Structure 1
Amino acid sequence: MTTRRSFLGRTTAAGVLAGLTASPAAGEDGRGSPAVDDPDVRRTRAREAIVAVNSGMRSHYAALKADLIARLGPVLVVQNDAKGGRFTLVHEGTRESLHPVGEVFELAKSVAHAPLGVFTIIAPHLSDRIPNVPGADRIDPHDLAMLASRRTTTTDWITPLRQYADTLAAARRHLDQAGIPPELAASCARVLDGALGFVKVSTEARSFDIRSFEDFSRSVYAGIRTAMRHAAEAQITGVQGVLRAWRARIGEEAWRDLYTVVLSQWATSELNQNSIIIRPCMNPAKVATHLIDLPAAEPPSDPVLVALDNLARIVQDNIAAELVFPTDHAAADALKGPQDLLADEILDQLGAPAPDSSAHVTPDGDGHGACPVTRGGTAPRRDAAAYDV
């Protein structure tokens, strides 16, 4: 009996045989084109034929992914932004998007960012010499030298700093009319007044340094912490509220299989605030595999499409991993997750420990590393038990 598997096997083999025995194309018989028996031509054709295997895989992989995207669900997509995050629920062919976090979140964080706003203007004009400040040993001299790229004697920072001060002053004037909690309003006033004071002193003296900026930032830190507390409270309330509403709408059975993809920039991708809030609201048996933090260099133009595209890869790789590597759980776990499939082999050949291992190589005192690494002997292979999966 001809089964689907045997039929496909024969037709595939026939196709390969036909390709290998096909007559040379016109013009490849030595008359104006490279001869078929030219070793370089044969090698090039052979390599192209081999590479075509991967090209074919990628083509079919993309087709499978595109088909799968349309059926994914339920999926919660979170695009972190200044408003606390845009949340989109994808379920049974429908999408609903909203910003569930109250405005207090954005207002509190906006004022808390005032010292950072001042810093971004003056940073290129800082001295590359680190003064005796509390965090001096935590500042990388090379990083500072790259950032402080302009001479300290220039004063082209004064105009943009004064313009930013106008923005700060406008926020300060309208603070009492913003309708925010009194404690938050008082803390915001302290932060804004401190920033305005730093700008006034610095622009009048036409000078500043790391020490004077740290004096300013230290003086407003308590106000920033209060603003952060109010922002966190607003975010927790808003996110938990929308999750309860959506959970009730789609039902417990669907919610148990919920995937969540949180898109953020790299700097906030670990212990992301929305991921922290969402985690206890998901199915505890699946949260480790169904809550996905997806860092990006910049916010994507279509975050939902990016999230679903990556999720489709994850879902189909979850199944492929167990079928492609049925006898090697470590390789299967690598295909399922963010680890590169060649990572183990490269680590073995370099004789290097895994990055999360407690073992490490002490660098030379002069800062020179030991690359390339000379492999001394054969490193022991790691098995699946060596990984926390």
Structure 2
Amino acid sequence: MATRRQFIGTASAVGAVTLLAAPPSAAADTATAVVNPERQARDAILAVNSGMRSNYAVLKSDLIKYLSPVIVVQNDAKGGKFTLIHNGTQESVNPVSEVFELAKSISHVPLGIFSTVAPYLSDKVPNLPHAERIDPHDLKMVAFKGTGTTGWISPLQAFGATLTTARQQLDKANVPQEMVVSFTKLLDAALNFIDVSVKSKSFDMKSFEDFSGSVYGNIRTNMKYAADAQIAGVQAIMKKWRTKIGEEGWKDLYTVVLSQWTTSVLNQNSIIIKPCMNPAKVDTHLIDLPAVELPKDPIFVALDNLARIVQDNIAAEMVFPVDQEVADALKGKQDLLSDEILDQLGAVTPGVRQSSAASSGDVCPFQKAQAAQA
């Protein structure tokens, strides 16, 4: 039986014979098969980081099972789904009353109409009082169909039918009378805009803003009721779970709020939750986790990120015991290289060293071009 060494030797001999009659390109291909010492050395170095990442992932995966107590908040149309993870158990609830969702539903009518007609706008910024606030490039991208078609009429009429049904049922919804009045005015104004636009087969930014501006007061009324409902619901569930966990556990509570990027700053649930948590730890234990859309498994995503945060808190002090600023960077949202990059770019940032003009130079072509035009 041929051994592996014999087989390789035979193959090499065959290759050598073939090489004698092969064209130059074949010889070049054979030459590239030779081991590159530099590549081999670099791969060995990179393997160190691969090993670190593997160990890090194992720790994070194991740690998830021990995270407690944790509240995960999924921002949704109902005011938020709250999940308590405590000593291996999970409990989920939507604590906000339906008044919140009802108020937001009608308040979203102008946005619903906008979403239907926006592609058919003119791509030129009109002469409006706030024209300077409209980015011409953004408008061109949004108005991608233009004014040359009336494709907006059918979907706008369909949305109008939905609004009409809601309008006809308002007196049976059992909501506060002030909300009924607000809903009625908003829906009537929206249906009038739709009717006029469809009959004339035209609309523009001004006609839409005349409508949306006229119902702003109604939207503010709805916002008041939505906020009241959310505050009451969130505070009630936080109080209930605080009693369940007990004061000793509550002081170490982590809360992870999952939200879309567009609502991640001053998120409504985070605002309500903050005063309910331990004030000594809330700045590090209330975590806003923005995303483009909510993930398919929000609980896992929240705990996976929290496990990374928790283990980095300990790793920071053990890996960087001689530099508290770098340790704080590992603990928080700051990248470890950020200070060094800012320093080399000559950025003016508090607490960051300034590099020489020679090292910073004209680092950005756009900045250089802007400076030349000034």
Work out which of the residue numbers 55, 63, 69 in structure 1 matches 2:58.
Answer: 63
Q: Structure 2 CA distance, aligned partners of 1:29 and 1:46? A: 29
1:227–1:246 distance in 2 versus 1, CA, 3 Å: same
Q: Structure 2 CA distance, aligned partners of 1:279 and 1:166? A: 42
Work out which of the residue numbers 125, 142, 148 in structure 2 matches 1:147.
Answer: 142
Question: In structure 2, the residue corresponding to 1:271 is in which secondary structure?
Answer: coil
Question: Retained in 1: the 8 A contact 2:123–2:146?
Answer: no
Question: Retained in 1: the 8 A contact 2:68–2:87?
Answer: yes
CA displacement at 1:128 relative to structure 2: 1.5
Work out which of the residue numbers 287, 292, 296 in structure 1 matches 2:287.
Answer: 292
Work out which of the residue numbers 303, 319, 324 in structure 1 matches 2:314.
Answer: 319
CA displacement at 1:132 relative to structure 2: 2.3
CA displacement at 1:37 relative to structure 2: 12
* Superimposed CA distance per residue, residues 94-116 of structure 1 (whole angstroms, 9 cap, x where no aligned partner): 00001000000000000000000
* Superimposed CA distance per residue, residues 62-110 of structure 1 (whole angstroms, 9 cap, x where no aligned partner): 0000110000010000000000000000000000001000000000000
Counterpart in the other structure of 1:353: 348
1:167–1:316 distance in 2 versus 1, CA, 3 Å: same
Counterpart in the other structure of 2:366: 369
Higher alpha-carbon deviation: 141-150 or 92-101: 141-150
Q: Does 1:120 align with 2:80?
A: no
1:28–1:266 distance in 2 versus 1, CA, 3 Å: farther
Counterpart in the other structure of 1:235: 230
Work out which of the residue numbers 82, 86, 103 in structure 2 matches 1:87.
Answer: 82
Question: Retained in 2: the 8 A contact 1:350–1:373?
Answer: no
* Superimposed CA distance per residue, residues 312-357 of structure 1 (whole angstroms, 9 cap, x where no aligned partner): 0000000101111111122111111111111111111111234999
Question: Retained in 2: the 8 A contact 1:108–1:227?
Answer: yes
The runs of 5 or more residues in structure 2 that have no matched partner are 16-28, 353-364
Work out which of the residue numbers 262, 265, 268 in structure 2 matches 1:267.
Answer: 262
Q: How do 1:190-209 and structure 2 match up within 5 A?
A: 190-209=185-204
Work out which of the residue numbers 228, 249, 254 in structure 2 matches 1:254.
Answer: 249
Q: Structure 2 CA distance, aligned partners of 1:37 and 1:186? A: 80
CA displacement at 1:134 relative to structure 2: 2.8
1:194–1:273 distance in 2 versus 1, CA, 3 Å: same
Question: Retained in 2: the 8 A contact 1:29–1:36?
Answer: no
Question: In structure 2, the residue corresponding to 1:370 is in which secondary structure?
Answer: helix
Higher alpha-carbon deviation: 245-254 or 145-154: 145-154
CA displacement at 1:369 relative to structure 2: 2.3
Question: As a proportion of its length, which structure holds more helix?
Answer: 2
Counterpart in the other structure of 1:362: none
1:265–1:372 distance in 2 versus 1, CA, 3 Å: farther
Q: Structure 2 CA distance, aligned partners of 1:319 and 1:226? A: 47
Letter in 1 for 2:208: F
Work out which of the residue numbers 337, 340, 355 in structure 2 matches 1:342.
Answer: 337
Question: Retained in 2: the 8 A contact 1:29–1:35?
Answer: no
CA displacement at 1:151 relative to structure 2: 2.3
RMSD value, Cα: 2.5
Question: Retained in 2: the 8 A contact 1:123–1:147?
Answer: yes
Q: Does 1:163 align with 2:161?
A: no
Q: Structure 2 CA distance, aligned partners of 1:37 and 1:29? A: 17
Work out which of the residue numbers 245, 262, 273 in structure 2 matches 1:278.
Answer: 273
Q: How do 1:34-45 and structure 2 match up within 5 A?
A: 41-45=36-40
* Superimposed CA distance per residue, residues 240-273 of structure 1 (whole angstroms, 9 cap, x where no aligned partner): 0001000001100000000000000000000000
Larger radius of gyration: 2
CA displacement at 1:29 relative to structure 2: 12
CA displacement at 1:293 relative to structure 2: 0.2
Letter in 2 for 1:169: T
Question: In structure 2, the residue corresponding to 1:369 is in which secondary structure?
Answer: helix
Question: Retained in 2: the 8 A contact 1:30–1:36?
Answer: no
Q: Structure 2 CA distance, aligned partners of 1:372 and 1:353? A: 20
1:138–1:373 distance in 2 versus 1, CA, 3 Å: closer
CA displacement at 1:153 relative to structure 2: 2.4
Letter in 1 for 2:319: V
Counterpart in the other structure of 2:360: none
CA displacement at 1:28 relative to structure 2: 10
1:35–1:110 distance in 2 versus 1, CA, 3 Å: same
Question: Retained in 2: the 8 A contact 1:191–1:223?
Answer: yes
Counterpart in the other structure of 1:224: 219
Q: Does 1:181 align with 2:176?
A: yes
Question: In structure 2, the residue corresponding to 1:78 is in which secondary structure?
Answer: strand
Letter in 1 for 2:153: I
Question: In structure 2, the residue corresponding to 1:48 is in which secondary structure?
Answer: helix
Question: Retained in 2: the 8 A contact 1:28–1:35?
Answer: no
CA displacement at 1:27 relative to structure 2: 5.3
1:82–1:29 distance in 2 versus 1, CA, 3 Å: farther
The runs of 5 or more residues in structure 1 that have no matched partner are 1-23, 358-367, 375-389
Counterpart in the other structure of 1:73: 68
Work out which of the residue numbers 50, 65, 77 in structure 1 matches 2:45.
Answer: 50
